[in-house]
Every structure is written in structure tokens, then in C-alpha cells.
Structure 1
Amino acid sequence: MSETDEAPAAPGRLRRALPNSRRGRLSLISALVLALAGTGLGTWAAHTWPWPKDRYCWGAWEEDSGPDFLGDDDDGSRTGKETAPTREHPTGSCEVAIASDYKSSYDGDKVSTDQQVTVEYGPVPKAAEARLAMVHDGFLGGDMVPLPDGLPGTVNGRGGLLVLPKSCDTHDGRPTVVTMHASGTYTRNGPSYTQNDPADLGGARQAAVLLVAAANRGMAAAGCAPDEPLKVSSPLYDLPGKPEAIFGTSDDVCGIRGLHLDTKDIEDQTGAATRDLQTCSVRGDRDGVPYLQLAMVAQPRLAAVFDGVTGEHPAARGWRGTGTIGEKHAIVRADCAGRPATFLMGASTDPGHLAAFANAAAARLGCAPIAPKGAAR
């Protein structure tokens, strides 16, 4: 299948269009009995149906396995579409969509849900700004945790990112990644009430299993799979803290001394704080608007997604390493405790925020400050 070919939508079996009349039910039962008789008593004894279960995302996921979005629901329908990566065109995508309409048993209101789980396979973008927006903004927030078993990437209950082995890199050296994202809406009485309602991935660890399964299938299709498939066998560690309200402009954000925001009605969330990864996010406590995104990445393959975008000069006078401070993102890379570390900032344009975070992370890792004295304020 070429990069531009799209597999036809495959209807799921959330609802098998059962007839409502008694005659219809009897006809269906008779048909099932005949079908089961034709398959032999062995099939009946094994509790298997004559039809195979649907599979999604290049065959990585099977219906009725794992999380709720692959399970059975009498009120909904599930469809899948996908474009598989190939050796010639190593990019691909797949989507599982779940739609349901029903009346509330409580008040009779009409309820509709539309949910999606989307997976993308391909290299990180060439343009620096697009790469930072994709990886940093999407997968290095304070609610993300490192993938287990040393896998280079991050995950939460709504999705994740996995950096594939070097055998899947592009000819110009860009890493290939697999990303997964759950989304959706819940609507009551038409458009009068709508809220976000992402598809249920079954928690962060189950999301990691789904992500790695899709990655293994994608690599096999693209011809760059390692000798042994990637796997998730350990629990998730370094779970993020709960969002906490910030009541004053003098309050330290994410537990970092001297990191202050000149605004109220916000909340921060501190994610992982390991040798490989540290994250911090600040959002509006009512509207969820991002105010500040900070991350330190030292895990080699995860940090490789930022190769080639840090420039050749220091971010500012007195800063160590190389980097750039732009209108939407800032990035700095410097040696720290014997290996390169990458420090990132999004949403804010104040270099003082990055300075406070980078110096605090460097101190925790046991290396020299990244920004000069006075840069953090």
C-alpha cells in the first residue's frame, strides 16, 4: 500500500445491528445455529465465533482486548482507517473512531459521544519550530511520565511518544517517532452542552502497551524492526504530581526557587524528575490555557529528536552550550554531569523562566549553572 493509499473503513462490532422484532430475533438465532453447526462441535466447545475479531492499527490491536475503546458497547459503533508505512514511504497513520448515540436513563436527554485514538508513524519535522511544537508541546508536559523499561519516550493516560531505534532514522539523520493521542467529545441535547471526553486508553501503563504494539507493527511494515520486538514489562515509575493552585505572584512554581509568574489563577504540575527527564507545566486553573512549559531531556534517544535545532551559538551572553530563544519556544543544550542535556521552554517568552528552571535542573544533576547569575529573576 502506498503512502497515499487509505484502507477502507472497517466497521467494528460494538453493535451488530440486531433486529428489534421477535421474528427478526428468531431468524437471527436460526442462522447462528446453522452457522455453528457448520463449523463443528469443536468450534462450539471452544467458545469461538465463525467470524474473526477485527484488528486495528496495522494489526497491533484486537477488538475485545485491553482498554474500553476496543471493547463491546451496545450503544455504539467502531470504525478504523489506516495507512501503513512501507520501506519506500516510511510514514503512516491509523485511527480508531468510536461513536454512540443514546438517551439518558436519568432524564431522557439525547447523548452523543465521538471519540478517536490516532497513531502517527514518521520522522520528526525538519523545521525547528514545527519539531518543538510537536514534541515539546505535545509530549513533554508535567503530566507525562517516562516509558518503562528504558524505552525512549513519554506517556500518560491520553497518549504518548516513542522514539524508534537508529535503524529507523531518515537518511538525513532525523529520528522516527510513533505518537498516540486520544481525543473526543461528549454532547448532550445537541450543541447546547459539549465537553471534552477522550477515548479511554485504560491508564498510562496500558497506553504504553498500545503505543509499543503499534510501533512494533509499524517498524515491521517499514522494514526497520530490531531483531527483538520492543516490549513493556515493568510498571510505570516517577508518576507526576497532582496539579496545584498558585495563589500569588511570589509563589515558587513547580517547586523551583525563584521561578515566579506575574499572574494569578493558575496551577502548576510537576512531572518526572529523574536523571533523564524533568518536566513542569503551568496552566490556567479554569480554562487550561498553557502559561509555561519546561522540560529537561538527557535520555540520549529522546534528546536526539532535538538534534540540529539548537544552533551553533549560546542562547544569550553568558549562557553555556548552544541554543536559541524565539517567540514561541526556547531551547538550550549543554554538557551536564558528563553528557548533553537539553533544556526547553514553551508558552512563555521570558528567558528568566528558562534560566531559573535550567539552573535548578543542573544543580540537581550536579553540574555547573546553565545561565549566568542574574539571568533568572
Structure 2
Amino acid sequence: MGIGARKRLAAMGGILAGAVVAAGIGLYATDSGPFHSTYCWGAWHEDSGAPFLDDEKLEESGSRREGSETAPPSAEHPRATCWVEMTSTWDGDASQEPMRFGDRITVDYGPVPGGGTERHKWLAQNLHGSAAPLPDGLDGVVGSDRAMLVLPEECDVSGRPSAVTIRAESRGDGPMGEKTLSSAIGPPTVVAGLLLDVANTAMGTVGCAPEEPLRSSSPFVTVAEDDDGVEDPLCRIPGVRLDVDRQSYYRQQVGAVTDRLQTCSVAWSLLGQESEPVAQYVMTSIPRLAALFDGLPEGRQNGLTRVTCDGRETVFYGRVHGAPAVEKVAVERSFENFVASVGHRIGCRTEGKA
């Protein structure tokens, strides 16, 4: 074989090798062949334990899973988001239009919002009463449909703490129009595992990851089911009230009640519609959770105060933001009573009337 022939064979071999590599990349990207798909910057893998990543769901008629992500977070660009969605179609009978359903899990990474309105909205969603505190010294909360983790100070941006949040929503598009409702991801242990996997991955790309990856293995605090209607006292806190009309449309969710964290959320809800936040009460002496309130205006009129208790700075936060008919003086009185009642329970010396 001449030198020219050997060169042509070598070149052809290189082309074939490149084609094999390219084909492998194509198989990976289209979720076919021997490769497993990954989501959220490689943090999640199909068939890794979470129900929405289970490939058995793809065997159902009209079902598919897809995901999308921004560039991974970095020190220069610390905000990033990704989502994974499982969709299915129900054809019904010949007289009906096909109905399409989807469960979307969205992850956000980055510093907490700086502005007051956006921060209050963020707190209402992520410090919700349905979420229990994470164990093992982790600074966050987890529920069946959401989770939040405040990251170490090394990940702070412009003096604001960074966090990873997960939220699940169910979307339906049929004859009654499009609906969006909260949707369960799985048990708290599964949701916590997803949260920590994506947090460890994101902190690694930013460059603020601790020496050891964050892990959790201890049991979770149990949170009670939400209640139909609102009670007196509201959130089972003596002295806290919310006098509103048509109380049957309101639901309260009493969350964690510990010495370091107490939460409660109240929402207005109609059947088949996503609930709207009405009120929220939070007490926390967990430093990284308390940092979520830094920069917000304090005082009784703003529903935010800090009290030193046994050497720990404790934040009391109470906000009524969806019931305009409630008198301002009643809102302030309820906040004072919230501080006094919860402060008395945890042994803080506070001002206010129970």
C-alpha cells in the first residue's frame, strides 16, 4: 500500500471516529440510545428516584418529558434557572377536544430579590407554611411541592444571601381553558434530595461550594394539613386575627412550630384556581433564614422586628397583603400579639400585648 493510500485510510478513519462521537452526542441530546438524559446542569438524571424522572411514565400514551436550562450560574452571572416538565394528552371522546396536562418542576438559583415587593412575594412562596425545616443544620425548608435552601455566606451577592428554590406546578389546557395549580413532586426526602443535588452542582459552577457536599439523612418535622377556613385565633397564635368576609374561601396552613422556626400561611382559594397569598407569619432565629429579611423596613407598621433571645437574634415577620378590607390598625395589633405570643412561647422578652 502506498503512502497516499495510507493517508487516505487514516483520514477516513478520523472521519468515521468523528462521526461516531457526533452520533453519540446526538443520541445523548435526543434521549435515545444507551445514554441517560440529565437535567439542571447535570444535577438530575433520569431514573434516579424522583417520580417525574421515572422512565415508566413515558410509556403512558401521549406522554413525554422535556427540560430546559439557562447557562449554569457563575460568579459573573449568579442567576440561573432550569425546568423539567412531564406532559400527557387525553383524547377523550370524539365530541371533545384533546386535553393536555403537564407537571413542571422549576429551579431558580441566585440572590434573593432586592426590592420590597418582590422580596415579600418571594418570602410568601418559599417560606410557606406547608414546608418543614430541613434537618442536619441545613438552612432551608422542604414540602411536597416546593423547597428552598439558603446557601453559605460565600455564595452571597452584593450583601444578599443566595438561595436555591424548587417549585412544582400542574398545568392543564382543555375545554375549560388553561389552569395552573400547585403539584406534588414527591415525599420530603425525595424533594430534599433533588434540592441538595442541584444546590451542590450550582455552587460548584459558581465556585462557592463547601469542602464537603451538603447532605441530609435525619427525619423531617411533620407539618399538619391545611385547614378549610380561617380560625380565631389565626394560625393558632393567641391574639392574631383576620376579620374578612366569605371566610370559607380562605385556607390556613400552620407550618413548623419549633424554638428556631415558626411559620403560617393564609391563602384565598376557589376550587380549580391557584390560591392567592393573603397573610404570612414567620419567626426564625436561624441566622441564614433571618438574613432573608435583611434590608426590609422594620417596625410594627411594616410587620418586621428583631428581638435578641438567649443571645440569638430572632426575626418576627407578619404581613397581610391580600385582604385590603382588613383595617391597618387590626393588622398592626395582630402583629404585636404575634410577637408577644410566640416570644413568650420561646422565652424571649418582647414588647407587645398578647
Query: Do they superpose with TM above 0.5?
Result: yes
**Structure 1 position 168, deviation (Å):** 0.9
> Residue 360 of structure 1 aligns with which residue?
341
**Structure 1 position 156, deviation (Å):** 0.8
Distance 1:247 1:256 in 2: 12
> Residue 102 of structure 2 aligns with which residue?
114
1:334 aligns with 2:319: no
- SS for the counterpart of 2:160 is coil
1:137 aligns with 2:127: no
Distance 2:316 2:230 in 1: 27
Instruction: Identify the range of structure 1 (61-70 vs 211-220) with the bigger mean alpha-carbon deviation.
Output: 61-70
1:90 aligns with 2:78: yes
> Residue 128 of structure 1 aligns with which residue?
116
Identity rate, percent: 36
On the 8 A contact 2:306/2:316 being kept in 1, the answer is yes
On the 8 A contact 1:184/1:197 being kept in 2, the answer is yes
> Residue 290 of structure 2 aligns with which residue?
303
> Residue 324 of structure 2 aligns with which residue?
none
**Structure 1 position 11, deviation (Å):** 6.4
- SS for the counterpart of 1:88 is coil
1:189-224: per-residue Cα shift (whole Å, max 9, x none)?
Answer: x33265445554212221111011000000000011
- SS for the counterpart of 1:99 is strand
1:201 aligns with 2:190: no
Unaligned ranges ≥5, structure 1: 1-9, 17-49, 317-324
Distance 1:243 1:309 in 2: 28
> Residue 260 of structure 2 aligns with which residue?
276
> Residue 38 of structure 1 aligns with which residue?
none
1:298-350: per-residue Cα shift (whole Å, max 9, x none)?
Answer: 11111112223245xxx15xxxxxxxx34xxx322221232111111223451
> Residue 240 of structure 2 aligns with which residue?
259
Summarize the alignment of residues 1-377 of structure 1 with structure 2, pairs less than 5 Å apart: 13=31, 50-72=33-55, 73-74=58-59, 75-83=62-70, 84-104=72-92, 110-134=98-122, 136-170=123-157, 172-187=158-173, 190-192=174-176, 195-196=179-180, 198=182, 200-237=184-221, 239-246=222-229, 251-263=232-244, 264-265=247-248, 266-284=250-268, 286=270, 288-311=275-298, 315-316=299-300, 325-326=301-302, 330-348=303-321, 349=328, 350-371=331-352, 373=353
Distance 1:204 1:365 in 2: 26
Distance 1:90 1:285 in 2: 35
Distance 2:196 2:30 in 1: 22
**Structure 1 position 280, deviation (Å):** 1.4
If each structure's helix is expressed as a fraction of its own residues, which one has the higher value? 2
Distance 1:291 1:132 in 2: 12
Unaligned ranges ≥5, structure 2: 1-27, 322-327
Distance 1:179 1:203 in 2: 16
> Residue 19 of structure 2 aligns with which residue?
none
Letter paired with 1:369:
T
Distance 1:262 1:109 in 2: 43
